[in-house]
Amino acid sequence: MSLPPVRLGVNIDHVATIRNARGGALPDPVRAAKLAEQAGADGITAHLREDRRHIGDADIARLVAELDKPLNFEMAATDEMLAIALRHKPHAVCLVPEKREERTTEGGLDVAAHHRSLRPFIEKLAANGSRVSLFIEPDPVQVAVAEALGAAVVELHTGTYVEHVFAKNEAAASAELDRLRAAAREGAERGLEIHAGHGLTYDTVSPVAAIPEVRELNIGHFLIGEAIFTGLGPAVERMAGLIAKAREADAA
């Protein structure tokens, strides 16, 4: 029997990175989002960073107004971002850690250390109608605290697994996959919906997509880079195809 499908959320932040390298309006991340929708994305993900280095406030307003598929709004747990999320009521909000000096989100949110400060954010966002996700390391303590905080979803950070694959460190990659599998199982047993993402590529997506409890993958940087060579539509189609294949009964 095949596993239930995994949704593909396409993160369009880095279309805005290219736009912002020159200023102006092109390339338009909303156009990319619509193309990704047409190519089979199940949702669009965008991270409004505090320094607005890629996605801007106007992009979020347009994405909310113009998309057909659900928007997953990634944000740091700050009062400024909370006000924006409460105003726009995106389908989903994913709380992520954010440091100004980092090039990308470098790890999961330490929900165990910050549970007191995070709780009001989760409560307010959920009461406002957004499905709240916490981006965490694949760690049983983080999963347990996420459940205790009342989050609906955990997104498991796949960046370490991908780094080990790229470094050709098979033992470490396999150990990290085991951590992802165990955290997914633990989270599902606790009633959490399981998502995963960060750094995923054609070569690394299949084992993560094959984790039975995973329901959504959020993928951005690789797809936007691949779009340079093949176009965004074909890149999204190929990624969606790899994810679907990993869910087939005979995939393992």
| Closer of 162 and 171 to ligand PXP (Cβ) | 162
| Binding piece for ligand PXP, criterion CB under 6 A, among 111-119, 137-145, 214-222, 234-242 | 214-222
Stretch that binds ligand PXP, among 34-42, 80-88, 115-123, 213-221 (CB under 6 A): 213-221
Size of the site for ligand PXP (CB under 6 A): 19
If binding is defined by CB under 6 A, does position 199 make contact with ligand PXP? yes
Beta-carbon contacts of residue 188 (< 8 Å; ≥ 6 apart): 194, 213
Bridge partners of 134, per DSSP, are 95, 154
Dihedral pair phi/psi, residue 145, rounded to 5°:
-70, -40
Is 54 a binder of ligand PXP (CB under 6 A)?
A: no
**Interface with ligand PXP by CB under 6 A: which range of 85-93, 146-154, 219-227, 233-241?**
219-227
Q: Which of 42, 59, 74, 139 binds ligand PXP (CB under 6 A)?
A: 74
Scanning the structure block, which residue is given the tokens 């389908």?
91
DSSP letter string, 122-186: HHHHHHTTPEEEEEE-S-HHHHHHHHHTT-SEEEEE-HHHHHHHHTT-HHHHHHHHHHHHHHHHH
Can you tell me the distance from the alpha carbon of 29 to that of 47, in angstroms, rounded to the nearest whole number? 12
> Residue 128 class from Cβ within 10 Å (0-12 exposed, 13-18 middle, 19+ buried)?
middle
Task: Return d(Cα 51, Cα 235) in angstroms, integer.
Answer: 29
The interface with ligand PXP within residues 96-135 (CB under 6 A) comprises 96, 104-105, 135
Q: How near is the Cβ of 52 to ligand PXP at its closest, in Å?
A: 14
Residues with active-site annotation:
47, 74, 198
Residues 11-50 as x/- pattern, contact with ligand PXP by CB under 6 A: x-x---------------------------------x---
| Window of 28-36, 143-151, 180-188, 192-200 that interacts with ligand PXP by CB under 6 A | 192-200
Dihedral sign (CA 14, 15, 17, 18): positive
With residue 73 as reference, give the H or E element that holds it.
strand 71-75
Interacting residues toward ligand PXP by CB under 6 A: 11, 13, 47, 74, 94, 96, 104-105, 135, 155, 197-200, 218-222
